[in-house]
Amino acid sequence: MNKYWKYGIPPLIILLVAAVVIYRITTDAKTAESRRMAVPLVKVEKPSRELVKTQLQFNGDVMAIRQAGIFSKVSGNLERIYTDMGSTVRAGQLLATIDSTELYQQYQQTNATYQNARLMYDRIRQLIEKNLSSKQDLDNADAAMKVARANFEAAATRLSYARIVAPFSGIITKRFLDPGALVNANNATLFILMNLDRVKIIVSVPENDIQSVYQVRRAQVTFDAMPGKIFVGKVARFSDALNLSTRTMDIQIEIENSSHTIKPGMFAAVQMTVAEHNNAITIPTNALLKDDSGQYVFVLNENKAKSLRVRTGTELVERTEILSGLTGEEHVIVVGQQFVKEGGPVLVQH
Protein backbone atom coordinates (compact mmCIF):
# COMPACT_ATOMS: atom_id res chain seq x y z
CA MET A 1 0.00 0.00 0.00
CA ASN A 2 2.73 2.42 0.81
CA LYS A 3 4.51 1.38 -2.33
CA TYR A 4 1.40 2.17 -4.41
CA TRP A 5 1.08 5.53 -2.73
CA LYS A 6 4.72 6.25 -3.21
CA TYR A 7 4.87 5.45 -6.93
CA GLY A 8 1.26 5.80 -8.26
CA ILE A 9 -0.61 8.61 -6.59
CA PRO A 10 1.79 11.58 -7.04
CA PRO A 11 1.99 11.20 -10.84
CA LEU A 12 -1.81 11.14 -10.98
CA ILE A 13 -2.03 14.35 -9.00
CA ILE A 14 0.53 15.97 -11.28
CA LEU A 15 -1.49 14.96 -14.34
CA LEU A 16 -4.71 16.36 -12.85
CA VAL A 17 -3.06 19.67 -11.99
CA ALA A 18 -1.59 19.92 -15.49
CA ALA A 19 -4.99 19.23 -17.03
CA VAL A 20 -6.59 21.95 -14.93
CA VAL A 21 -3.91 24.48 -15.89
CA ILE A 22 -4.22 23.67 -19.60
CA TYR A 23 -8.03 23.94 -19.38
CA ARG A 24 -7.84 27.36 -17.69
CA ILE A 25 -5.34 28.64 -20.23
CA THR A 26 -7.51 27.44 -23.13
CA THR A 27 -10.69 28.86 -21.58
CA ASP A 28 -9.08 32.24 -20.91
CA ALA A 29 -7.81 32.37 -24.51
CA LYS A 30 -11.27 31.58 -25.88
CA THR A 31 -12.86 34.17 -23.59
CA ALA A 32 -10.40 36.84 -24.73
CA GLU A 33 -11.05 35.90 -28.34
CA SER A 34 -14.80 36.06 -27.78
CA ARG A 35 -14.51 39.47 -26.18
CA ARG A 36 -12.39 40.67 -29.05
CA MET A 37 -14.90 39.31 -31.58
CA ALA A 38 -17.84 40.95 -29.68
CA VAL A 39 -16.57 44.46 -30.51
CA PRO A 40 -18.76 45.62 -33.47
CA LEU A 41 -17.07 46.39 -36.79
CA VAL A 42 -18.25 49.73 -38.20
CA LYS A 43 -17.63 52.19 -40.99
CA VAL A 44 -17.51 55.93 -40.43
CA GLU A 45 -17.98 58.92 -42.70
CA LYS A 46 -17.74 62.67 -42.24
CA PRO A 47 -20.89 64.66 -43.11
CA SER A 48 -20.96 66.37 -46.50
CA ARG A 49 -21.86 69.97 -47.26
CA GLU A 50 -23.97 70.62 -50.36
CA LEU A 51 -26.83 72.61 -51.83
CA VAL A 52 -30.11 71.15 -50.63
CA LYS A 53 -33.38 72.01 -52.36
CA THR A 54 -36.80 71.41 -50.87
CA GLN A 55 -39.02 70.51 -53.80
CA LEU A 56 -42.66 69.61 -54.28
CA GLN A 57 -43.86 67.30 -57.03
CA PHE A 58 -47.26 67.57 -58.73
CA ASN A 59 -49.01 66.19 -61.78
CA GLY A 60 -51.51 67.86 -64.08
CA ASP A 61 -52.98 68.04 -67.56
CA VAL A 62 -52.18 70.69 -70.16
CA MET A 63 -54.99 73.03 -71.21
CA ALA A 64 -55.13 75.87 -73.71
CA ILE A 65 -54.86 79.34 -72.21
CA ARG A 66 -58.17 80.16 -73.92
CA GLN A 67 -60.71 77.68 -75.22
CA ALA A 68 -64.28 78.09 -76.46
CA GLY A 69 -67.01 76.04 -78.07
CA ILE A 70 -68.43 78.01 -81.00
CA PHE A 71 -72.25 77.92 -81.17
CA SER A 72 -74.86 79.47 -83.43
CA LYS A 73 -77.17 81.96 -81.76
CA VAL A 74 -79.88 81.50 -84.40
CA SER A 75 -81.57 78.44 -85.89
CA GLY A 76 -81.31 77.46 -89.53
CA ASN A 77 -79.45 75.36 -92.03
CA LEU A 78 -75.65 75.55 -91.99
CA GLU A 79 -75.09 77.23 -95.32
CA ARG A 80 -71.31 77.33 -95.66
CA ILE A 81 -68.14 76.55 -93.69
CA TYR A 82 -65.01 78.60 -94.30
CA THR A 83 -62.56 76.79 -92.03
CA ASP A 84 -61.78 73.28 -90.84
CA MET A 85 -59.95 71.32 -88.14
CA GLY A 86 -56.35 72.48 -87.77
CA SER A 87 -56.95 75.89 -89.37
CA THR A 88 -55.44 78.98 -87.78
CA VAL A 89 -57.92 81.83 -87.50
CA ARG A 90 -57.76 85.40 -86.26
CA ALA A 91 -60.22 87.27 -84.06
CA GLY A 92 -63.32 88.32 -86.05
CA GLN A 93 -62.63 85.96 -88.96
CA LEU A 94 -65.71 84.44 -90.64
CA LEU A 95 -65.99 80.73 -89.78
CA ALA A 96 -69.42 79.76 -91.14
CA THR A 97 -72.78 81.17 -92.26
CA ILE A 98 -76.35 80.15 -91.45
CA ASP A 99 -79.14 80.42 -94.04
CA SER A 100 -80.46 83.95 -93.42
CA THR A 101 -83.50 84.07 -95.71
CA GLU A 102 -86.07 84.31 -92.93
CA LEU A 103 -83.85 86.52 -90.83
CA TYR A 104 -83.44 88.96 -93.71
CA GLN A 105 -87.21 89.10 -94.21
CA GLN A 106 -87.70 89.93 -90.55
CA TYR A 107 -85.03 92.58 -90.86
CA GLN A 108 -86.85 94.17 -93.82
CA GLN A 109 -90.21 94.09 -92.07
CA THR A 110 -88.96 95.69 -88.88
CA ASN A 111 -87.04 98.27 -90.90
CA ALA A 112 -90.21 99.25 -92.77
CA THR A 113 -92.17 99.50 -89.52
CA TYR A 114 -89.45 101.63 -87.97
CA GLN A 115 -89.26 104.00 -90.96
CA ASN A 116 -93.04 104.42 -90.95
CA ALA A 117 -93.08 105.16 -87.22
CA ARG A 118 -90.30 107.71 -87.65
CA LEU A 119 -92.21 109.49 -90.43
CA MET A 120 -95.37 109.51 -88.33
CA TYR A 121 -93.43 111.06 -85.45
CA ASP A 122 -92.05 113.80 -87.75
CA ARG A 123 -95.56 114.63 -89.09
CA ILE A 124 -97.09 114.95 -85.64
CA ARG A 125 -94.19 117.11 -84.51
CA GLN A 126 -94.84 119.46 -87.45
CA LEU A 127 -98.54 119.56 -86.57
CA ILE A 128 -97.67 120.41 -82.97
CA GLU A 129 -95.68 123.41 -84.22
CA LYS A 130 -98.85 124.59 -85.99
CA ASN A 131 -101.06 123.82 -82.99
CA LEU A 132 -102.92 121.18 -85.04
CA SER A 133 -102.16 118.21 -82.78
CA SER A 134 -101.93 117.45 -79.09
CA LYS A 135 -98.90 116.70 -76.98
CA GLN A 136 -100.37 113.28 -76.22
CA ASP A 137 -100.31 112.37 -79.90
CA LEU A 138 -96.66 113.34 -80.08
CA ASP A 139 -95.83 111.20 -77.05
CA ASN A 140 -97.65 108.22 -78.52
CA ALA A 141 -95.81 108.62 -81.81
CA ASP A 142 -92.48 108.91 -80.03
CA ALA A 143 -93.13 105.70 -78.04
CA ALA A 144 -94.23 103.83 -81.18
CA MET A 145 -91.09 104.99 -82.99
CA LYS A 146 -88.82 103.79 -80.15
CA VAL A 147 -90.49 100.36 -80.04
CA ALA A 148 -90.17 100.01 -83.79
CA ARG A 149 -86.52 101.01 -83.65
CA ALA A 150 -85.81 98.46 -80.90
CA ASN A 151 -87.47 95.72 -82.97
CA PHE A 152 -85.47 96.77 -86.02
CA GLU A 153 -82.17 96.73 -84.11
CA ALA A 154 -83.01 93.29 -82.65
CA ALA A 155 -83.73 91.95 -86.12
CA ALA A 156 -80.46 93.43 -87.40
CA THR A 157 -78.60 91.73 -84.52
CA ARG A 158 -80.22 88.36 -85.29
CA LEU A 159 -79.29 88.76 -88.94
CA SER A 160 -75.66 89.40 -87.96
CA TYR A 161 -75.68 86.17 -85.93
CA ALA A 162 -76.03 84.26 -89.19
CA ARG A 163 -72.36 85.08 -89.72
CA ILE A 164 -70.37 83.03 -87.19
CA VAL A 165 -67.00 84.61 -86.44
CA ALA A 166 -64.04 83.71 -84.23
CA PRO A 167 -64.18 85.42 -80.80
CA PHE A 168 -60.37 85.31 -80.50
CA SER A 169 -57.33 84.17 -82.46
CA GLY A 170 -56.39 80.53 -82.27
CA ILE A 171 -56.63 77.11 -83.90
CA ILE A 172 -59.77 75.18 -84.80
CA THR A 173 -59.17 71.87 -83.03
CA LYS A 174 -62.56 70.30 -83.85
CA ARG A 175 -65.36 70.74 -86.40
CA PHE A 176 -68.63 68.94 -85.67
CA LEU A 177 -71.14 69.70 -88.47
CA ASP A 178 -71.18 69.77 -92.26
CA PRO A 179 -72.90 72.24 -94.61
CA GLY A 180 -76.62 71.53 -94.87
CA ALA A 181 -77.04 70.41 -91.27
CA LEU A 182 -79.91 71.95 -89.33
CA VAL A 183 -78.58 74.05 -86.48
CA ASN A 184 -80.62 74.85 -83.38
CA ALA A 185 -79.79 78.00 -81.48
CA ASN A 186 -77.39 77.63 -78.54
CA ASN A 187 -77.37 73.83 -78.37
CA ALA A 188 -75.22 72.68 -81.28
CA THR A 189 -71.43 73.12 -81.13
CA LEU A 190 -69.96 73.95 -84.52
CA PHE A 191 -66.26 74.30 -83.63
CA ILE A 192 -63.78 74.09 -80.74
CA LEU A 193 -61.36 77.03 -80.83
CA MET A 194 -58.15 77.09 -78.76
CA ASN A 195 -55.41 79.65 -78.33
CA LEU A 196 -52.14 77.70 -77.94
CA ASP A 197 -49.68 80.62 -77.75
CA ARG A 198 -49.66 79.89 -74.03
CA VAL A 199 -50.82 76.82 -72.13
CA LYS A 200 -51.82 76.34 -68.52
CA ILE A 201 -51.59 73.51 -66.02
CA ILE A 202 -53.81 73.31 -62.96
CA VAL A 203 -52.21 71.41 -60.04
CA SER A 204 -53.67 70.63 -56.63
CA VAL A 205 -51.49 71.54 -53.64
CA PRO A 206 -52.05 69.71 -50.31
CA GLU A 207 -53.10 71.80 -47.35
CA ASN A 208 -49.75 71.42 -45.54
CA ASP A 209 -47.79 72.86 -48.49
CA ILE A 210 -50.00 75.85 -49.29
CA GLN A 211 -47.95 78.44 -47.38
CA SER A 212 -44.75 77.26 -49.09
CA VAL A 213 -46.03 77.62 -52.66
CA TYR A 214 -47.11 81.24 -52.13
CA GLN A 215 -43.43 82.21 -52.27
CA VAL A 216 -42.80 80.35 -55.54
CA ARG A 217 -42.81 82.20 -58.85
CA ARG A 218 -41.36 79.59 -61.22
CA ALA A 219 -41.84 75.87 -61.76
CA GLN A 220 -40.06 73.25 -63.85
CA VAL A 221 -42.38 71.24 -66.09
CA THR A 222 -41.63 68.03 -67.96
CA PHE A 223 -43.79 65.93 -70.25
CA ASP A 224 -43.80 62.19 -70.88
CA ALA A 225 -44.19 62.93 -74.60
CA MET A 226 -40.93 64.96 -74.63
CA PRO A 227 -38.41 63.15 -72.40
CA GLY A 228 -35.30 65.13 -71.50
CA LYS A 229 -36.86 68.55 -72.14
CA ILE A 230 -37.49 70.91 -69.24
CA PHE A 231 -39.87 73.87 -69.59
CA VAL A 232 -40.05 76.82 -67.22
CA GLY A 233 -43.54 77.82 -66.16
CA LYS A 234 -44.82 80.86 -64.28
CA VAL A 235 -47.01 80.44 -61.21
CA ALA A 236 -49.81 82.73 -62.34
CA ARG A 237 -52.83 82.26 -60.09
CA PHE A 238 -53.93 80.81 -56.76
CA SER A 239 -57.51 79.74 -56.17
CA ASP A 240 -57.24 80.74 -52.47
CA ALA A 241 -59.87 78.14 -51.56
CA LEU A 242 -59.55 74.48 -50.64
CA ASN A 243 -61.49 71.61 -52.13
CA LEU A 244 -63.37 70.17 -49.14
CA SER A 245 -63.24 66.60 -50.43
CA THR A 246 -59.46 66.54 -51.08
CA ARG A 247 -58.18 69.38 -48.84
CA THR A 248 -56.14 70.75 -51.72
CA MET A 249 -55.88 74.17 -53.36
CA ASP A 250 -55.61 74.67 -57.11
CA ILE A 251 -52.87 76.83 -58.59
CA GLN A 252 -52.40 77.72 -62.25
CA ILE A 253 -49.03 77.47 -63.99
CA GLU A 254 -48.59 79.07 -67.42
CA ILE A 255 -45.97 78.25 -70.07
CA GLU A 256 -45.11 80.24 -73.19
CA ASN A 257 -45.83 78.05 -76.21
CA SER A 258 -45.31 80.19 -79.30
CA SER A 259 -44.00 77.17 -81.24
CA HIS A 260 -47.10 75.16 -80.23
CA THR A 261 -44.83 72.30 -79.16
CA ILE A 262 -46.92 71.63 -76.05
CA LYS A 263 -50.34 70.23 -76.88
CA PRO A 264 -53.51 70.41 -74.78
CA GLY A 265 -54.22 67.10 -73.10
CA MET A 266 -50.56 66.21 -72.46
CA PHE A 267 -49.67 64.80 -69.04
CA ALA A 268 -47.33 67.14 -67.16
CA ALA A 269 -45.02 66.62 -64.17
CA VAL A 270 -44.50 69.85 -62.21
CA GLN A 271 -41.62 70.42 -59.82
CA MET A 272 -41.56 73.48 -57.56
CA THR A 273 -38.55 74.50 -55.45
CA VAL A 274 -39.92 76.00 -52.22
CA ALA A 275 -36.58 76.39 -50.34
CA GLU A 276 -32.81 76.25 -50.98
CA HIS A 277 -30.13 75.75 -48.32
CA ASN A 278 -26.54 76.40 -49.36
CA ASN A 279 -23.70 74.54 -47.63
CA ALA A 280 -26.16 72.29 -45.79
CA ILE A 281 -24.91 69.30 -43.74
CA THR A 282 -26.03 65.93 -45.09
CA ILE A 283 -25.38 62.34 -44.03
CA PRO A 284 -26.44 58.97 -45.47
CA THR A 285 -30.07 58.35 -44.62
CA ASN A 286 -29.33 54.83 -43.35
CA ALA A 287 -27.06 56.31 -40.61
CA LEU A 288 -30.10 57.68 -38.82
CA LEU A 289 -31.64 55.80 -35.91
CA LYS A 290 -34.93 56.52 -34.18
CA ASP A 291 -36.43 55.97 -30.75
CA ASP A 292 -39.28 57.40 -28.72
CA SER A 293 -37.37 60.67 -28.20
CA GLY A 294 -36.66 61.25 -31.87
CA GLN A 295 -33.76 60.67 -34.25
CA TYR A 296 -30.10 60.26 -33.41
CA VAL A 297 -26.78 59.07 -34.84
CA PHE A 298 -23.70 57.40 -33.42
CA VAL A 299 -20.34 59.12 -33.87
CA LEU A 300 -16.83 57.91 -33.18
CA ASN A 301 -15.31 59.24 -29.96
CA GLU A 302 -11.87 57.76 -29.09
CA ASN A 303 -12.77 54.36 -30.55
CA LYS A 304 -16.05 54.38 -28.69
CA ALA A 305 -19.59 55.08 -29.84
CA LYS A 306 -21.33 58.26 -28.76
CA SER A 307 -24.94 59.10 -29.60
CA LEU A 308 -25.98 62.58 -30.71
CA ARG A 309 -29.53 63.81 -31.11
CA VAL A 310 -30.20 65.44 -34.51
CA ARG A 311 -32.99 67.35 -36.21
CA THR A 312 -33.48 66.44 -39.86
CA GLY A 313 -34.62 68.52 -42.81
CA THR A 314 -35.08 67.60 -46.47
CA GLU A 315 -34.64 63.96 -47.39
CA LEU A 316 -32.84 63.50 -50.69
CA VAL A 317 -32.49 60.29 -52.70
CA GLU A 318 -29.99 58.58 -50.35
CA ARG A 319 -28.98 61.40 -48.02
CA THR A 320 -30.76 63.51 -45.43
CA GLU A 321 -30.19 67.12 -44.42
CA ILE A 322 -29.23 67.69 -40.78
CA LEU A 323 -30.54 70.97 -39.42
CA SER A 324 -29.03 70.70 -35.95
CA GLY A 325 -27.00 68.31 -33.78
CA LEU A 326 -23.87 68.02 -35.97
CA THR A 327 -21.13 70.48 -36.80
CA GLY A 328 -19.91 68.62 -39.86
CA GLU A 329 -16.59 67.58 -38.32
CA GLU A 330 -17.78 64.39 -36.64
CA HIS A 331 -17.11 60.88 -37.88
CA VAL A 332 -20.59 59.43 -38.17
CA ILE A 333 -21.03 55.66 -37.97
CA VAL A 334 -22.83 54.80 -41.19
CA VAL A 335 -22.48 50.99 -41.21
CA GLY A 336 -22.97 48.77 -38.14
CA GLN A 337 -24.54 51.52 -36.02
CA GLN A 338 -27.42 49.24 -35.07
CA PHE A 339 -24.98 46.95 -33.22
CA VAL A 340 -23.18 49.55 -31.10
CA LYS A 341 -24.06 50.84 -27.66
CA GLU A 342 -23.59 54.20 -26.01
CA GLY A 343 -19.98 54.39 -24.80
CA GLY A 344 -19.23 50.92 -26.13
CA PRO A 345 -16.01 50.11 -28.00
CA VAL A 346 -16.06 49.85 -31.78
CA LEU A 347 -13.66 48.57 -34.38
CA VAL A 348 -13.39 50.87 -37.40
CA GLN A 349 -13.04 49.25 -40.78
CA HIS A 350 -10.62 51.17 -42.96
pLDDT in tens, 198-231: 999 999 999 999 998 988 999 999 999 999 999 9
Residue 4 pLDDT: 45
Tell me the CA end-to-end span of the chain in Å, nearest whole number.
68
Q: Is the pLDDT of residue 11 over 70?
A: no
Among 54, 62, 55, CA closest to 253: 62
Instruction: Please state the φ and ψ torsions of residue 344, each to the nearest 5 degrees.
Output: -80, 155
Q: What is the pLDDT of residues 243-286, one digit of tens each?
A: 999 999 999 999 999 999 999 999 999 999 888 888 899 999 99
Among 189, 3, 180, 1, CA closest to 98: 180
Residue 51 pLDDT: 87
**pLDDT band, residue 15 (cuts 50/70/90):** low
Q: What is the pLDDT of residues 93-141, one digit of tens each?
A: 999 999 999 999 999 999 999 999 999 999 988 888 888 778 888 889 9
Contact 272, 53 (CB under 8 A): no
Helices within the chain (DSSP H only): 2-7, 9-38, 101-129, 135-160, 210-213
Ordered structural domains, the chain, with CATH: 41-53+278-348 (2.40.420.20), 56-64+197-276 (2.40.30.170), 100-161 (1.10.287.470)
Q: Is the pLDDT of residue 165 over 50?
A: yes
Average pLDDT, the chain: 88
Residue 33 pLDDT: 46
**pLDDT band, residue 185 (cuts 50/70/90):** confident
Among 43, 41, 51, CA closest to 319: 51
Q: How many helices (H) and strands (E) does the chain have?
A: 5, 20
